[in-house]
Amino acid sequence: MKISKKFTDPNLTNEQRDQIMEDLLKSKFDSQLRDKYKTILSKEHGLSRSDGSTVATQSAAESESKNTKGKLYLVIGVVLALVALSLALFFSKGNGTEAVQTNKAQMYLAELSIDNKNVTRNSNDQRAPALIAATKAFNDGNYAEAIKQYALVDQLDNENLFFRSVANMKLGKYAEAENGFKVLQDQIKNGEAFKSETHVYLLLCLKLQNKDAEAASLAAAFKAGSWEAKEAQKLMK
Amino acid sequence: MDTTTTEIMRKKNFNLTEDEFDTLCDQLKNGDESLFEKIFLAHFADCISFLKSKFRMQHEEAYDVTMETLLDFRVAIIRDKISYGNIRFLFTRMASQKYIRSQRKEIVTQEIHSDTDILMGGDEPAVDADDLIYLDKAWAKLGENCQQLLKSFYYDKVKLNEIAAYMEKSAPAARKQKERCLNLLRNNFIQILNH
């Protein structure tokens, strides 16, 4: 039986439940840390899993040989860097498709204006003060405060999860926003509020992170002529 | 402590003084990972080299073992299982033991003492990729308070009374909150699995 299915068993003892929680969270957060550490090791220490060349295991002879060649490589490196810089400048002014695409997504995000008309109706609902504050902050454009207020709520419904994801997107936290929209994509049923927006904003998050293949695949699934498809065209063409 | 002794201790402890190590521990416990990452990732390659020379391991394997050791070491620091003294040596011993375990060798070499056992996790959990997808979805629906509380308790192994103090709540209130968060997570799982 899958561990997630087991977790929903109402007959679990507290010890069994705690063990499952430990296992689940260990897998989740270890995996996130692994990815984070791998990125830092690769970017800041030039150390990757597949290539051991940067690890200090070279022999002294190899090191000496490298020193001798160092100056030559330096000159070649400088020349190549200048060429690359020139090319980058040329393409950024001309046909830099990726840069244009990202700018297009960023412009779309900058122009994106959406109000949270969420009304918390139940006065006995303990979440109400935080949700009201979050809604106000969101509508004032104070997205950091909105996120802070959402954090005070134990559980978010789809509508508030949607606005938290938009706030994350507005703050440039695209990965968090993407995660939220992906959850909503499954949770919101067809015909319910924010379904179409969720699709388009997920696409926007993907574009903003240059996840072009995933974005293209998502956009291809939009119904021809739909609002989603039209918005996607603005982002993808 | 004179200058020479301080230098020797620094060398044995990833160039950290005892005060700096205490700062690293405090920061890590409070969710600030920056110093831990700076110090330990800077010595990642040293551990790989050590494993490669000691066990004649391939680079990828040594990389993986070092990574898993780093994750265990992080938790051990948060749980106050690591003391200042000879951290460099302890880290490489843990890495050695992790490798030996992964090889399922029954003979544990004498140089590896039982004190590293307490720092290591048990068997790997039977969580698969689907479980993680369901968890991500169920987790995302929780508010950040609940996420923080459950992560602190189940992953970082922070004691409930410490969590309560941080939340400025009583221990029973924190326990109640934890139960409520667990129920919310469980209900989210039920919804997702029935979807």
Report H helices in B13-159: 18-29, 34-42, 44-55, 59-78, 87-102, 129-140, 144-150
Query: What's residue A81's pLDDT?
Result: 65
Nearest to A163 by CA among A190, A186, A136: A136
Query: What's residue A64's pLDDT?
Result: 43
d(CA A137, CA A141) in angstroms, rounded, equals 6
A77 by Cβ neighbours in 10 Å (0-12 / 13-18 / 19+) ranks as exposed
Nearest to B150 by CA among B188, B130, B131, B178: B178
Query: What's residue B156's pLDDT?
Result: 85
Scanning every residue of chain A, which has its alpha carbon at the shortest distance from the alpha carbon of B126? Answer: A3
- Domains and their CATH numbers in chain B: 3-119 (no CATH), 129-194 (1.20.140.160)
d(CA B111, CA B93) in angstroms, rounded, equals 8
Contact: B155, A26; criterion CB under 8 Å: yes
CA torsion sign for B171, B175, B177, B181 is positive
Residue A151: CB atoms within 10 A of its CB come to 17
Find chain B residues with C-beta within 8 A of A152's C-beta.
143, 145
Complex confidence, ipTM: 0.81
Give bridge partners of residue B154 from the DSSP assignment. Answer: none
Contact: A26, B42; criterion CB under 8 Å: no
Q: What is the CA radius of gyration of chain B?
A: 20
Does A6 touch chain B if contact means CB atoms closer than 8 Å? no
Long-range contacts of B98-103 (CB under 8 A, 24+ apart): B98/B65, B98/B68, B98/B69, B98/B72, B99/B51, B99/B55, B99/B57, B99/B61, B99/B65, B102/B65
Take residue B19 and report the two structure tokens written for it: 């005060």
Instruction: Indicate whether this model's pTM tops 0.80.
Output: no
The answer to whether residues A17 and A7 touch, using CB atoms and an 8 Å cutoff, is yes
The full length of chain A comes to 237
Find chain A residues with C-beta within 8 A of B189's C-beta.
4, 7-8
Nearest to B118 by CA among B158, B76, B88, B157: B76
Q: What is the pLDDT of residues A93-105, one digit of tens each?
A: 444 555 566 677 8
Query: What's residue B48's pLDDT?
Result: 92
Q: What is the pLDDT of residues A182-229, one digit of tens each?
A: 889 888 888 888 889 999 999 999 988 888 888 988 998 888 888 889
A151: nearest CB among B59, B132, B144: B144
Q: What is the pLDDT of residues A132-184, one digit of tens each?
A: 888 888 888 888 888 888 888 878 888 889 999 999 998 888 888 998 898 89
**A106-130: average pLDDT:** 69
Query: What's residue A156's pLDDT?
Result: 84
Query: What's residue A114's pLDDT?
Result: 77
Q: What is the pLDDT of residues B30-78, one digit of tens each?
A: 888 889 998 899 889 999 999 999 998 899 999 999 999 999 999 899 8
| Cα-based torsion angle of the residue sequence A125, A129, A132, A135 in order, rounded to the nearest 10 degrees | -110
Contact: A31, B132; criterion CB under 8 Å: yes
Contact: B44, A57; criterion CB under 8 Å: no
Find chain A residues with C-beta within 8 A of B150's C-beta.
21, 25
B3 by Cβ neighbours in 10 Å (0-12 / 13-18 / 19+) ranks as exposed
Query: What's residue B185's pLDDT?
Result: 95
Instruction: Tell me which of B28, B67, B77 to substitute to probe the interface with A (most A C-beta atoms closer than 10 Å).
Output: B67
Q: What is the pLDDT of residues A12-29, one digit of tens each?
A: 999 999 999 999 999 999
Interface of B with A in 24-83 (CB under 8 A): 37, 41-42, 44-46, 48-49, 52-53, 59-60, 63-64, 67, 70-71, 74
B25 pLDDT more than 60: yes
Interface of A with B in 44-103 (CB under 8 A): 44-45, 47, 49-52, 54-57
**B116-134: average pLDDT:** 68
Q: Which residue has the tokens 């030039």?
A: A46
Query: What's residue A173's pLDDT?
Result: 85
A5: nearest CB among B64, B177, B193: B193
Contact: B125, A22; criterion CB under 8 Å: yes
The answer to whether residues A40 and A48 touch, using CB atoms and an 8 Å cutoff, is no
Q: How far is B57 from chain A (nearest CA, A)?
A: 12
Query: What's residue A58's pLDDT?
Result: 42
CA torsion sign for A188, A191, A192, A195 is positive
Start-to-end CA span in chain A (Å): 46
H or E stretch at A87: helix A60-93
Q: How far is B1 from chain A (nearest CA, A)?
A: 32
Residue with the larger pLDDT of the pair A144 and A125? A144
Which DSSP string corresponds to B129-185?
HHHHHHHHHHHHTB-HHHHHHHIIIIIS---HHHHHHHHTS-HHHHHHHHHHHHHHH
At A155 the three-state DSSP class reads: strand
The answer to whether residues B121 and B167 touch, using CB atoms and an 8 Å cutoff, is no
Rank A106-110, A201-205, B158-162 by mean pLDDT and report only the highest. Answer: A201-205
Query: What's residue B167's pLDDT?
Result: 84
Query: What's residue A88's pLDDT?
Result: 57
Contact: B154, A22; criterion CB under 8 Å: yes
Residue with the larger pLDDT of the pair B140 and A108? B140
